[in-house]
Structure 1
Amino acid sequence: MSRRQKTFRALAIGDGSDGQWAAYAQPLWPLAEQWLSEEGRTEEGADRARRLFEEHMPELVPVLDRLTGQLDRPEARTFLTLAAIRPFFSACTQIGAGGTLLRNYDFDPDDCEGTIVSSHFLRPVIGMQDAAWGLLDGMNDAGLAVSLTFGGRFVHGPGFAIPIVLRYLLETCTTVDEAVGRLRSIPIAIPQNVTLVDAEQARTVYVGPDIPLTEAPDACAANHQHLPVPDDQERSSRTQERLAAVRATGPDVAAMLKSPLYQLAYDEGLGTVYTAHYHPAEGKVTYFWPDDSWPQSFATFTPGTRTMALGLA
């Protein structure tokens, strides 16, 4: 396959009130509108999404209002709740161990925002942003890091898209136990695996619209949960193969940048877009690509843009 290129950016947005976030978010709306569900486009659906957000993420309501108030988009009020989003499915592999969180994010590069954001909505947070203010993975200043993978089952129900849930956990929680406790009561729209790391422990939990929060046997995840994986799904996603591989290698960046953990199925939306290695107790993260890396931290956050080669030579 030919290698691809993608431009990533790093952006410091503070509490979202100085216009930097709005300048970034405005151009996203043609794409964002495509992800709004049909129900979310109705007045009843918009009201339902708002009530769900107020019920489960009350601490973030002032932030939601501050952000939507800067956008000249009436649908932003609903979209940014991430409670009225069409389902989307990705790949990904992740592992937490030894106070670190290591993950590969696998998706269609053209549909990944590719923006590393340093924010201070309720507290300092750094992560890879998605859906304008959600997070695919990230850490906070308390030493908590979280990351997501798709749970592999194509079911959908009422609830939140997982990126806003990761944002909420990092904004309001300081430990793995506290974050898992919050996750138990938050409705999640599609099956997801969440890996959480702090200085004391690492855990993976399975969540979804049709199951209660379920503990994984270890702090590793690919794209299945505790239920059998159909043979055709394994052939296309290699989820069991990748889970076995990451368990065997442990949190090894070099292994993440090689097959079978590094995926090349970009035309199917399952190619590896980036690798992230969080050291939350130190407030540091490094994003990796086969030919390059980009370190960031709370102490030294460097805004800018970089164009990275995706795929293996």
Structure 2
Amino acid sequence: MQKVYSDIMTFRGSHFDLGVETGKWMKQTRLLQNREKEWKKRLPRFDIDVNETYEIFQTYAPQIWEELIGMREVLEIPIRQIVFNFAHYRFTPIKKDSGCTVFLGNDYLVRNYDYHPATYDGRYLLYQPYDGGLAQIGPTSRITGRMDGLNSAGLAMGYNFMHRKKPSNGFVCYMIGRLILELCKDTDEAIRLLKELPHRSSFSYIVMDKNLNHAIVEVSPRDISVRYDRTCTNHFKLLTHENRNYTKESKERLGRTLKQTNIHMDKAKAFELFNNPSYEIYSKLFSSWSGTIHTSLYQPETMQAWLALGENGVPIQIDFARWLEGNELDMTTIEGVIDTDIQFASK
């Protein structure tokens, strides 16, 4: 077992200033050095275009481009390196298969984020922008992205990997997650945005809003479909022609989730179900890029966010509504244990 921790960062201000603060945080970590090591181990199978990436951000979220420029000011690295590492708009996939399981209870979204610890930022961010876009809470992914979270309109989001066959030019999953939280107030708006965005690879995006409307949006670079049930693992139910050849483990994990959940399940019990390995939804396959790094839960009606790192954790519980009202947090880190010696990207 390894003790792990994630920094909690809060910020109110412009996106450029958030980029500056993020750059300062990064300079205190080993994140950039570790990313360079990872790229040396596995050559990236994609290209970038700085000008085209700039234009796409001007179309969808110009304020996030300003965040990138703020990071560049502090890190003092070329704009191409900033775009390569943090813009997450790509032209062909580098990641291996990953897991993740999501369940939508009556009034909450709970999910396991399953992936490789060496890719994990180790940063939990509460951000309230003053220059456009919705405030957000949740763990960051690749610095500027989100793998799950909740915004100030009460929209919760998580995503699950499906496959990376036949990729196309477009945003990758963690920037799409960020754009949903940044731009969408409810489930319908999230569906409309997902239909408009260019997608790099195939994922399911799971959303629930403050009115408890919910959807699982199955997306590939070629197609999109929407279903309204409450569980999702790592295979499509509607876009079945897009599925990987091997979906046995995903279907078995879905079966275990369906067997042990119901719409009226108490949120604390649901969190335990996902975070305790004995229920066989939590995964320890870290070296195979599908170990559970965190369990998160969001309640859109009450604006509560829970998070536990690793297994059998007591989740931190944050009242996002209170923070939005100006009440500061009394915590700066989240701690937990995971059954691997692989370290987070920032450590």
Counterpart-to-counterpart distance in 2, 1:302 and 1:309:
22
Between 295-304 and 195-204, the greater mean CA deviation after superposition = 295-304
Aligned-residue sequence identity (percent) comes to: 20
What TM-score, normalized by structure 1, do the two folds share? 0.86
Q: Is 1:97–1:202's contact at 8 Å kept on the other side of the alignment?
A: no
Q: Aligned-pair RMSD on alpha carbons?
A: 2.6
Aligned to 2:51: 47
Aligned to 1:294: 316
**Of 76, 81, 94, which aligns to 1:87?**
94
Gaps of 5+ in 2: 324-328, 341-347
Q: Is 2:146–2:177's contact at 8 Å kept on the other side of the alignment?
A: yes
Note the C-alpha offset of 1:40: 3.9
Note the C-alpha offset of 1:61: 3.5
Judged with a 3 Å threshold, the aligned counterparts in structure 2 of structure 1 residues 9 and 78 are, in CA distance, closer, same or farther, namely same
Note the C-alpha offset of 1:117: 0.5
Gaps of 5+ in 1: none
After TM superposition, the structure 1 = structure 2 runs for residues 90-239 of structure 1, keeping only pairs within 5 Å, are 90-121=98-129, 122-200=133-211, 201-210=213-222, 212-226=223-237, 227=240, 232-234=246-248, 238-239=249-250
**Of 2, 8, 11, which aligns to 2:9?**
11
Judged with a 3 Å threshold, the aligned counterparts in structure 2 of structure 1 residues 152 and 144 are, in CA distance, closer, same or farther, namely same
Counterpart-to-counterpart distance in 1, 2:319 and 2:35:
28
Note the C-alpha offset of 1:98: 1.8
Counterpart-to-counterpart distance in 2, 1:106 and 1:7:
16
Q: Is 1:124–1:140's contact at 8 Å kept on the other side of the alignment?
A: yes
- The amino acid that maps onto 2:33 is P
Q: Deviations over 1:121-145 (max 9, x none)?
A: 3332101101111001000111101
Counterpart-to-counterpart distance in 1, 2:186 and 2:228:
19
Note the C-alpha offset of 1:71: 2.9
Q: Is 2:68–2:82's contact at 8 Å kept on the other side of the alignment?
A: no
SS in 2 for 1:308: strand
**Of 29, 32, 42, which aligns to 2:32?**
29
Q: Deviations over 1:235-266 (max 9, x none)?
A: xxx21112223233146112212332111112
Aligned to 2:326: none
Q: Is 2:284–2:290's contact at 8 Å kept on the other side of the alignment?
A: yes
Judged with a 3 Å threshold, the aligned counterparts in structure 2 of structure 1 residues 54 and 231 are, in CA distance, closer, same or farther, namely closer
**Of 60, 69, 74, which aligns to 1:56?**
60
What TM-score, normalized by structure 2, do the two folds share? 0.78
Note the C-alpha offset of 1:233: 4.3
Number of paired residues? 303
Judged with a 3 Å threshold, the aligned counterparts in structure 2 of structure 1 residues 95 and 68 are, in CA distance, closer, same or farther, namely farther
Aligned to 1:266: 286
SS in 2 for 1:70: helix
